[in-house]
Amino acid sequence: MLAIYCRHSKAKKEGKDTSIATQKKHGVELAEYLNLEYDTYIDKGISGTSVDKREGMLRLLEDVKKGKITVFYAHDQDRIERDTSFWLEFCSIIIANNVRYFENTLEIDLTEPSNAMSTTMKSAFSAYYAAQTSKAVKNSIKRNAERGKVRGILPYGYTKDEEGFVIKHTEQAKVVELIYELSLGGLGTYSISNELNKKNIPTKFHEFEGDIKRKADKYQPERTFKKSEVRWRGNVIYDMIKNESYKGIKRVGNIIVEIPPIVSDETWIKAVENLEQNKKNVGPKNQYHYLLNGLVYCHHCGKPVIGKKRLKGRDNAYKCTGKRYPNPDCTESRGLNIPKLETFIIKHLFESKDLTTYLLSLPEREGEVDVMKSKLIQSKKDLEKIKTIIANTDELLVSATADRRERFIKILDTNEKKQRSLVETIEVLEIKIGESLKTERDKILKEVTQGYDRDLSFDELKDLVHTVVEKIVVKHVVKEKEDIEKSHHVLFIKYKGFDEQLVIQTNNYLAYTWSGMIFNNVNNVEELDPNKIEIDWEKVANQETLTMPMQSYRLTLKEDELIHFD
């Protein structure tokens, strides 16, 4: 495969730099000439002196090391780097993996001493130019700072006038004053953030378009939020109160730029001292451990169910995030006691041998594997089509008139996103197909269950649980709508590598009864979602989709054996 690497550091005027589209076009032409498949690796808006931030280059080097790449193409050496030490590292990786190197359609043998010398000299000149440019930019920043101008994003509460000088943002400055007032009045930073959210006061992110992604830990899925919907948080308030800008000081390197103060020196000092004193009085922050975060989801609304503990409150349950302040929209879910649910999962997975014995006896579910294989083949076909569309759009973009360029660029960006999504889908499907093969899934199950020990640390135990369990969906069932106490929960437990879902019922959360297994007769992977399964639990014995794989299974816990991790 031929790797096409493209990079630009920032948007430049037409004719001042070679566009990503042009770089790709020439790389595709080389791939067609050599009759090779190709993949593109792109870094947009990133300097050649930066290495760690260039995801495209890092991914390319990983693929070279894995043996996926046989030929490398870049429009020019300065697209690869402006740092001599990185160039030498890059050359060693290319040479060690026998990858042919092309620069602007010209093949260069990097093992040839004369080529090694000339390319290293070129790298040194490129690095010198980058350093000189950086120095000039820094001098410009310094001169502007001395005149009272600053670059970059300003703190909340400030904006710039037409000449680039910092001025107060009328509405935001009032919010900053309110924050200091509330802090001096005795409110903590998280209480202040709650007050601002109650008043629906927009954050600085409200000014920006696009999304922001956050992930609590490696077990929980990444969640996407619109930047315009980002809410106030206590740590943001804390940083704002300590920000010197609000008393009229903006530091640019070693230069202090005077800007309009929003609060007086006295107010700022008192607020900071008060903040530090409050911080000392709070005491150590409670650290809680949740074994099942990232696995449990609500049957009613589909949102994650996460653990919530408070020493000074009654919270000690896994609760649906759809019921959380300030926008509760899940009306049917109900919390599950943390120690009881976690103890059941541990005993069910590792101490009761019935489950392991039963799962190992199940045959390979060929239907699900066939579905995933079919989807994998289709995804690969779709990926090739997208690559063709991208290549054709690149060609059109090169010769497009000014009024059509923007349209083609949007088409190119859309299809590049589709390409990345398909690549991720293919990787996930290949992993899931491997997990679903009986020999592989049985091997993992045996290793995990045999690796369990009561003396394991919390993190080790959590790794074992997340290795076996794919998803747990909880359904709250109320038989008599007027009596919430006459209710119970149903757990749908899906194991990695199996398309069967274990169905467990519990009403006092100490006794858990196996109601059966759901076997999914489906035409595509999406239909495996337990949220789409509706069961009449009063007629559960008559359900055709349920079987009783074991004559009797009932796991009963005792209060004195419940496991507490905190």
Boundary-marking domain end, from 229, 253, 282: 282
What pLDDT sits at residue 402? 67
Q: CB–CB of 275/552 below 8 Å? A: no
Quick count: other Cβ atoms within 10 Å of Cβ 182? 19
Residues 495 and 347 placed together within one structural domain of the fold: yes
Confidence of residue 549 (pLDDT cuts 50, 70, 90): very low
Give the pLDDT of residue 532: 40
> pLDDT tier at 15 (50, 70, 90 boundaries)?
very low
If asked whether residues 130 and 269 sit together in one domain, one would say no
pLDDT at 109 over 90: yes
DSSP string, 251-288: EETTEEEE---SS-HHHHHHHHHHHHHHHHHH-SPP--
Q: Considering only CA atoms, which of 75, 73, 63 is closest in space to residue 31?
A: 73
Report the predicted TM-score, pTM, of the whole model to 2 decimal places.
0.49
Q: Are residues 106 and 244 in the same domain?
A: no
Mean pLDDT within 126-137:
70
- Do 123 and 175 reside in the same domain of the chain? no
Terminal CA-to-CA distance of the chain, rounded, Å? 52
Is residue 512 within 8 Å of residue 504, measured between CB atoms? Answer: yes
pLDDT in tens, 244-261: 889 988 876 667 778 889
Give the pLDDT confidence score for residue 302 in this predicted structure.
85
pLDDT in tens, 310-324: 655 567 889 998 887
Residue 268, domain CATH: 3.90.1750.20
| Amino acid of residue 3 | A
Residue 233 clears pLDDT 70, i.e. is over it: yes
Beta bridge partners of 165: 149
SS3 state at 471? strand
CA-to-CA separations, 513 to 321, 360, 520, in angstroms, rounded: 26, 21, 21
Cα–Cα distances in angstroms (integers) from residue 47 to residues 8, 131, 199, 353, in the given order: 7, 12, 41, 57
CB 39 within 8 A of CB 28: no
Computed over every residue of the chain, the mean pLDDT equals 78
Judge whether 152 lies within some domain.
Answer: no
Q: Kindly state the tokens that stand for 336.
A: 């599950």
Residue range 354-361: mean pLDDT, rounded: 75
* Owning domain of residue 306: 286-354+453-566
Q: Are residues 522 and 420 in the same domain?
A: no
- Domain membership of residue 400 (yes or no) is yes
Instruction: Give pLDDT tens digits for 362-409.
Output: 766 556 677 778 888 998 888 888 888 888 877 777 676 766 777 777
pLDDT in tens, 407-443: 777 788 888 888 888 888 888 888 777 766 677 777 7
Work out how many domains the chain is built from and give that number.
4
**How far is the C-alpha of 322 from the C-alpha of 300, rounded, in Å?**
9
Query: Residue 441 domain-assigned?
Result: no
**What is the structure's pLDDT at 550?**
42
Tokens of 330: 């899940």
Q: How far is CA 59 from CA 6, 52, 68, 104, 329, in A?
A: 13, 11, 11, 21, 41
Structure token digits, residue 549? 């794989």
Nearest Cα to Cα of residue 304 among 527, 474, 179? 474
Are 409 and 327 found together in one domain? no
CATH, residue 82: 3.40.50.1390
- What is the chain's percent helix, strand, coil content, to nearest 5? 50, 20, 35
Q: Give the model confidence (pLDDT) of 55-107 as tens digits.
A: 889 899 999 998 999 999 999 888 888 788 888 889 999 999 999 999 987 89
pLDDT in tens, 458-479: 888 888 888 888 899 998 887 6
- The percent of residues above 90 in pLDDT, for the chain, comes to 15
Residue 501: closest CA among 549, 442, 450, 555: 549
**What confidence score (pLDDT) does residue 560 get?**
84
- Cα–Cα distance, 89 to 362 (Å, whole number): 50
pLDDT in tens, 174-185: 999 999 998 888
| Token pair belonging to 503 | 């169905």
CA distance 251 to 248: 10
Q: Cα dist. 172→181, 198, 207, 222, 444 in Å?
A: 14, 16, 12, 31, 55
